[in-house]
Amino acid sequence: MFGKKRVAVIGAGMTLFRRTLKETGKELAWEASKMALDQAGLELKDIDSVVMGTAPDAFDGVHMKGEYLADGSGAYRKPYSRVFVGGGTGVFAVDAGWWHIASGQFDTCLVVAEEKMSSCYPHPAYAFTTIFDPIYARPLGVTLIWIFALEMHRYMHVHGIKKEEIALVSVKNKGNALDHPCAQLAAKITVEDVLNSEVLCYPVQRLDISPTSDGAAALVLASEDVAKKVTDNPVWIDGVGWSIDSTYWTNRDLYYPRYVQSAAQMAYKMAGIKNPPKEIDVAEVYDPFDYKELHHMEGLMLARKGQAPKLTADGVTQRDGDLPINPSGGLLGVGNPIAAAGTMKCCEIFWQLRGEAGKRQVKGDPRTGLAQAWGDLMQYGSVVIMRS
């Protein structure tokens, strides 16, 4: 065990993920928080500390989002902090919740993640243009989609991977999402549909990408003492990891996410995992683009470099395969309200390990699960490992 106290997940909740929801960010955070508390059988007075995760302020145009979302997150007169590491936020918020309890300081922590991207109109893509270096990158007109297209193309080139191999991820995840009641883009599609979809930024096409979304997700974490009092089936957080690479992203070889590897190594070491593909029963791997699932499986050492497409083609990563990846439907299927999407992945692992995932339940009796997210300028990795 690392830290002073062992940490359990005892409840989870989330809202619908949709392109536009009527609720404010605060209202969404409240809905997810209340559901997680109800599932845990706790009330707000039982919560010692709160961690909120939410991504760029520019989406909301409220440049103090931690404060703005505090009431909805149940933070009223409590120790509270907002964390933000771009797309990595949703899993990192759970890592941060872990240390609140593992430090010995608190017995409970409510972890809430929210994103309302629809407020930035006509499209939140424009808010993303403000994440780049203002001196040498922005004058070139750089957009978010450029950097993914450059990374995807490099990954394809180094390993000789074809678009149709990558498209299988989109087909799988959107299909998995058909069984997720909160999913935004669940669909039965084919590889041809992906290959025939609009070319946005070659090699990225329309169906390679997750949508923009509104939504929230939350988890209740508790120390071992509290967890054992309130539930017979806690899910333990046995590993956490996070890491960042250099901000000079054009100076890195984009074919391999070393920062994900670093974060995974930290988490595997904590959890005593020596052979990740054998020891991980189910994983929620960050998939804002279809190639990212493959790229991240390799960074997480769930597949050897360049081999994730083969595992996908062989059906290993299907929900009934030997190493199910993104049984929820992932960001491609459930949706991508940035921070909430990462926390949704942690919720899914919790439900999978409790055997509560219903139609999405992976085969066997999964005991060890992993959730991962990725963010900032293709440089941030966050990982959490849970065991039932």
Q: Which residues pair with 96 in a beta bridge?
A: none
Residues 84-122 as b/e (b if ≥16 CB within 10 A, e otherwise) read: bbbbbbbbbbbbbbbbbbbeeebbbbbbbbbbbbbbbee
Contact call for residue 71 and other proteins (CB under 8 A): no
CB of 37 to other proteins, least distance (A): 13
Looking at 20-28, 267-275, 284-292, 312-320, which segment touches other proteins (CB under 8 A)? 20-28
246 binds other proteins, rule: CB under 8 A? yes
Residues 168-187 contacting other proteins, CB under 8 A: 180-182
Regarding 64 and contact with other proteins (CB under 8 A), the answer is: no
Q: How far does CA 192 lie from the centroid of its chain?
A: 27
CB atoms closer than 10 angstroms to residue 163: 18
User: What is the three-class DSSP state of 377?
Assistant: coil
Binding segment (CB under 8 A) for other proteins, from list 199-207, 235-243, 269-277, 370-378: 199-207
**CB of 254 vs other proteins, minimal distance in Å:** 7
- Name the one residue in this structure whose structure tokens are 């995760």: 53
Stretch that binds other proteins, among 46-54, 232-240, 252-260, 280-288 (CB under 8 A): 252-260
Interatomic CA distance for residues 165 and 162, integer angstroms: 5
Q: Nearer Cβ to other proteins, position 149 or 237? A: 149
Name the strand (E) or helix (H) holding 375: strand 368-375
- Scanning 87-95, 96-104, 128-136, 371-379 for contacts with other proteins by CB under 8 A, the matching segment is 128-136
Q: Minimum CB separation from other proteins for residue 136, in Å? A: 5
CB-based contact 381:88 (threshold 8 Å): yes
What count of other Cβ atoms lies within 10 Å of the Cβ of residue 202?
A: 10
Cβ-based nearer residue to other proteins, 165 or 214: 214
What are the tokens at 26? 């605060």
Which secondary-structure segment (H or E) carries 112?
A: strand 108-116
- Interface with other proteins (CB under 8 A), residue from 44, 131, 142, 191: 142
The site for other proteins, by CB under 8 A, has a size of: 67
Q: Which residues contact 10 (CB under 8 A, 6 or more apart)?
A: 39, 40, 41, 42, 220, 221, 222, 226, 227, 230, 231, 234, 235
Which span (67-75, 90-98, 149-157, 377-385) binds other proteins, by CB under 8 A?
149-157
Q: Write out the two tokens for 168.
A: 């299988």
275 lies in the binding site for other proteins (CB under 8 A): no
Q: How far is the CB of 130 from other proteins (least distance, A)?
A: 9
Residue that has been written with the tokens 């990846």 in this structure: 325
Region near other proteins per CB under 8 A, out of 126-134, 186-194, 281-289, 367-375: 126-134
Shortest distance in whole angstroms from residue 62 CB to other proteins: 10
In angstroms, give the least distance from the CB of 277 to other proteins.
27
Q: Distance between CA atoms of 149 and 220, rounded to whole angstroms?
A: 37
x/- binding map, residues 22-51, to other proteins, per CB under 8 A? xx----x--xx--x---x------------
Which range touches other proteins (CB under 8 A), out of 159-167, 292-300, 352-360, 373-381?
352-360
The CA R_g of the chain, rounded to the nearest whole Å, is 19
Determine if 146 is a binding residue for other proteins (CB under 8 A): yes
The CA-to-CA distance between both ends of the chain, in Å, stands at 15
Distant-in-sequence, close-in-space partners of 280: CB < 8 Å, separation ≥ 6: 273, 302, 323, 368, 369, 370, 385
Which residue's CB is nearer to other proteins, number 58 or number 300? 58
Give the residues lining the site for other proteins (CB under 8 A).
12-23, 28, 31-32, 35, 39, 61, 118, 121-123, 125-126, 129, 134-137, 139-143, 145-146, 149-151, 153-154, 157, 180-182, 198-204, 214-215, 246, 248, 250-254, 347, 351, 354, 356-358
